[in-house]
Amino acid sequence: MKLSLFSFLMVMSFNAFSVVNGEGLNWDDNDAIVRFDYEDNVGQCTGTLFAGKYILTAAHCLYDQNSIDRITTVSNSILKKDTTVVIHPNYQDSGDSSVGQDVAILKLNKNISYSNAFYFHSSTNDPFNYGEIVEINGFGGTSGNLNKAKLKLTDWRDCQGSSCGGRGDYLLYAELYNDSHTIGGDSGSSWINSNNEIISIHKGSSVVNSNGFRWRETYSTNVNDVKDFILDSVNGWHYPTEIKTKGKTTVTVQSLHNSVVTDMAFVKGNLILIPEESSCLNGSIKPFQKCTYTIEGESGSLILSNEDVINVSSIDNDTGNTGSGNSSGGSLNFLILLLLASISIFRKRA
């Protein structure tokens, strides 16, 4: 009986440990990350929401028209046929291998709700920083749960894997930092640096055996090399579409316009824009430049343009609930269940 109960608890908690050496993440806290699915197969690739209604991912995830049929966000499911797919013009797929910038952008027909935006590296200079630890958040091998791996950026000239042949400056390379690593389904994930910025788009990894040594190499497409592709595809603002606040708050936005722009924002509803605390009002804004708006009030909209709108609502103090979503809290649930089971067994013995 004790063995059967323990086995049952292990099965119930399996999802919490479904990625070996990965760290579970709460999807609600990372709601800009999306999952690509096909029929009953979830987690075929990963993408990142940005600029309201765009998704950044790898081109090889979308090159085969029959590989993905829907995109799943933390709260919705979107049919791929209802999106517009733009693949980088230099990308060439050759079955098991590819060359060129492995990046694609999907445009949705409306804004998607998310509040935790990842902004792009400024792209005025190469984001490569030797030895920096980067994070990759993806759905690979997790049956739908979101997990994180950490990697260390290293010199691409050390690269010896199959994806290194004919490498251009568009590829960033990383090696293992700890025991965690990416697997199938993580393709298209954003590499996030220590400043919480997107520096590249995950392409893949391979295990190398050379001179008696064995190691894993991981590759991605540098955003610095696809900046014009991003700007031409969007030509608008990048921002969180939903903000919850209590009183005054500062909102960061990023220009993804293909030319210099100036502030045109205004507020509606029960909101006040505070000019002296808003850096976006200080002058011209260059492509990939970030700036801020400080607003005060309980609810309304911060309107950046006709298409770029940030919805603002007050924090619900009654529940204090930030949502459970698809969190990776299974390990805690397992411990609680195990403790309760132990207490039950102890009482029976007593």
HSE-CB at 197 with a 13 A cutoff on CA atoms is 21
Q: Is 102 a catalytic residue?
A: yes
> Pseudo-torsion of CA 139, 141, 143, 144, nearest 10°?
0
The answer to whether 279 and 291 are in contact (CB under 8 A) is yes
Does the CA dihedral 301-304-309-315 come out positive or negative? negative
Q: Catalytic: which of 31, 60, 189, 278?
A: 60
Query: What 3-state DSSP class applies to 74?
Result: coil
HSE-CB at 68 with a 13 A cutoff on CA atoms is 32
Q: Catalytic: which of 187, 189, 233, 327?
A: 187
The answer to whether 259 and 281 are in contact (CB under 8 A) is no
> Pseudo-torsion of CA 43, 44, 45, 49, nearest 10°?
-60
Q: Is 60 a catalytic residue?
A: yes
- Quick one: tokens of 197? 């910025």
Measure CA 154 to chain center.
22
Amino acid at 66: N
Does the CA dihedral 25-28-34-38 come out positive or negative? positive
∠ Cα 31 33 34 (to 5°): 110
Residue 142 buriedness (CB in 10 A; 0-12 / 13-18 / 19+): buried
The answer to whether 311 and 239 are in contact (CB under 8 A) is no
What gap in Å lies between CA 232 and CA 44, rounded to an integer?
A: 27
Amino acid at 44: Q
- Residues β-bridged to residue 255: 237
Q: Catalytic: which of 102, 225, 263, 308?
A: 102
Look at the chain and count its residues: 350
Positions marked catalytic: 60, 102, 187
